[in-house]
Structure formats: structure tokens, C-alpha cells
Amino acid sequence: MKPITRKEEIIRTAAKLFKDKGYSAVTMRDLATSMGIKASSLYNHINSKQDILKAIIISLAEEFTAGMKLIQSSNDSCMSKLKAIIELHVRISSENIYGMASLNNDWMHLEDQLEYYLKLRQGYEDDFLKIIENGKSNAEIKAANPEIIMFSMLTTLRSLYLWIPKKEDLNAKDLAINLSEVLIHGINK
Amino acid sequence: MKPITRKEEIIRTAAKLFKDKGYSAVTMRDLATSMGIKASSLYNHINSKQDILKAIIISLAEEFTAGMKLIQSSNDSCMSKLKAIIELHVRISSENIYGMASLNNDWMHLEDQLEYYLKLRQGYEDDFLKIIENGKSNAEIKAANPEIIMFSMLTTLRSLYLWIPKKEDLNAKDLAINLSEVLIHGINK
DNA sequence: GTCTATAACACGATAGAC
DNA sequence: GTCTATCGTGTTATAGAC
């Protein structure tokens, strides 16, 4: 199978540390200590601290964009698309708890790739909003402000990485179902 | 009236910078430059960088706790209490856009006061959850997982500081009304 | 692949002049 | 209240031995 390279191991360990303290507060010495080696040894596997951040964030951002493009191009109803978006977030977040923290909180520390990241994120939000606006036109969705709907859904989905580890008894499928119910149908009886 | 002291001016400026780059990535030199003075001059008004963070976060955390205690002690229905919580977040977030960023993202960099902050936050979440569980018992709220309901509402409310500045046309009252509709009644028609 | 040693610089904070 | 100068330490990253 695919062997875990030392580089991948460093990136995973870094993601864990970034989740707790943020990119800026984690030093290469912290990372090296977590790996059980000296800081200078890290540079045989990675080029810079910045490269680690890039590897964590860009791959995740591209995964979300690819998922959204797939959902967008389907012929499903608006409601089905929204449920698919929820499943997309639950799935990627479950598989990348640590990386999601960097994606949410440390993207501003990207240097070369900041512009590219912002383009991906803006595109994602544009696509999300279009789905909601279509649902409003179709009368699938109520006449509330589409931006408030997207804001509410997206911030909940973006914070999943914080809550999934606390609720390990809830599997991805059940979480997605429960979340769809709450986000789409509300909470009142 | 209350004059804005130099110390308060420094804390406000710091909060703005912390929102963009996070506590760890903002240097005292950055802060001084933003104030139009030298870094050493800051220390005539504040004791340390840490004291600035403390001033921003603890006052906000205590404001939320006080608001929650007031809501909790009322005799209103669960739904009314939830609407009051939404109004609480919209109000405090509108008045402290920059500080809310630190409250959400930089609390882990508190030193002496970290434990106290965590106690306040845990208490807030416990009170929030109790209101939802009572609503479920009263059949005001549907039989969904109360923790998922709280998670969804709270993450949306905690992210308000990011969205309020983008929607300056929407006043606090309208935002709270729209948000209540979406969070409580859902989005489907 | 890891080490020791170190370069080159940035950090928070202080001392003391004005 | 702000300045210049500086201390002591921490930072990313490199050089070269093993």
C-alpha cells in the first residue's frame, strides 16, 4: 500500500500542533520535539515552515472545490444539493480533523498561495449561494435572506472539526442526517 | 463623558490587528507602528502583550456570561430564551467586531486567565444546552439531538463578527430577526 | 536521516534621556 | 509620553560532520 513518508508524517504532526496553538505560535522546535528529532533535521524533508502550511491548506481547499463542482453539476433538487454539501463537509472534516483547523484559522498566513486560496474560497461561496438562490426561485426554500442562510449553514459546517472529536459515538452518516434535519427543517416542533 | 484613554486606544488597535493575523503573529512593533509611536512607548500604558489579550477577552467573556444568566433566570419560554440569546450575540458582536475575533481564536494564548476563561465558556455552553433540553421536554423543540442544535446555533452566533461587517446595510434588529427565523424555523418552505 | 553549531534576524521588554 | 539604545532570548534556516 501507500507507505507514509517522513514528509507526510511531519505534515500530519504539524497539523495537530497548528490545531492547538495556531501556525504562528508553533515553532519548528516544537514540531521537531513532537517528532522526536532536532529542528534542523526537519529540513531534510521539507523546505520551510510555510511549505507545511501550504501542503495542509491547499489540498483541502481543492478537495472542497472539487466536491462542490460535482454537486453543482448534478440535476438534483436544491434540497438534495444542500444535503450533499453537508455530507461533503462531514466527510472531509471527519477525515482531516487537524487540517481543518488550519484551513479555517491559518489561511491568512499563506504567502505565495494566499491569492489562489482566496479565489477557491470565494468560488465555493459563490456556488453555495447560487444553489440557495435557485432554491428560493423554485420555492423550495423560504423567502429568507439567502446570504444569511448560507452564512448560517457554512459557519456551522466549517466548525465541524471542533465538534466531531467530542462526539465520537456519532458516526459520519448519523451526524450528516441530524445536521441536515436541524439546518434545513429548523428546531421547532 | 468618558474620555478614551491611551491604554484603551492601544487595546482597540491591538484587537484590530489580532483580528487580521491572530495574537501570536502581531508584534509589539506592529502595534506601535499602527499607533504611530515606537514599541517601547507602549509600555508606559500597558504592562505586557499578554495584558492586552486579557483585557480584550475576559471583559467580553464576562459580558456573555452576565447576559446568559439574565436570560436563564427569566420565566420566558424556551423559544423566547433562544431568541434572546441570538439578540445577545448580535448585540455584543456588533459592538465588538474586533474583540470577538480574539475571543474566538486567541483564547488559547491566555496564560494566567486561561482556566478562568474556560470555566466561563463551559458554564455558558452548559446553560445554553439546558435551555434546549428544557425546550425538548416541553415539546417546544423537536426531538433532535440537543447538542447538535446547540453546536449549530452557537457556531453560527460565534462567527457573526465575520459577517456583520460585510452586511452593513443590515441593522442589528433585522439581523437578529432573520437569524432567528433561519435558526429556529429552518430554511425549507 | 540525524546530529551539532551557528548565522542572521525578530521578539518582548527595560533603562534612562528629554 | 515618547524617544534611542540595548538586553536576553527565541526564531527560521543553513553548513557540514557522521
- pLDDT tens digit string along B112-135? 999 999 999 999 999 999 999 999
Q: Is residue A148 part of a domain?
A: yes
The pLDDT of residue B110 is above 80:
yes
Inter-chain touch A187–B149, beta carbons under 8 Å? yes
Residue range B53-76, pLDDT digits in tens: 999 999 999 999 999 999 999 999
User: Does B176 touch chain A if contact means CB atoms closer than 8 Å?
Assistant: no
Q: Is residue A14 part of a domain?
A: no
- Whose C1' is closest to the CA of B7: which nucleotide? D1
Q: Is residue A66 part of a domain?
A: yes
Q: Is residue B81 part of a domain?
A: yes
The dihedral over CA atoms of B92, B93, B98, B101, expressed in degrees to the nearest 10, equals 110
Q: Is residue B78 part of a domain?
A: yes
Q: Is residue A98 part of a domain?
A: yes
Residue range B1-37, pLDDT digits in tens: 777 899 999 999 999 999 999 999 999 999 999 999 9
Q: With the C-alpha atoms ordered B153, B96, A109, A40, is the resulting torsion angle positive or negative? A: negative
pLDDT band at residue A169 using 50, 70 and 90 as cut-offs: confident
Nearest by Cα to B101 from B161, B47, B181, B50: B161
Q: Is residue B4 part of a domain?
A: no
CATH number at residue A73: 1.10.357.10
Q: Where are the beta strands (DSSP E) in B11-107?
A: none
Q: What is the SS3 assignment for B188? A: strand
Domain housing A121: 48-185
pLDDT for residue A168: 83
Q: How many domains does chain A have?
A: 1
Q: Is residue A3 part of a domain?
A: no
Residue to mutate among A125, A152, A160, A164, with most B CBs inside 10 A, is A152
The C-alpha of A4 sits at a distance from chain B's nearest C-alpha, in angstroms, of 31
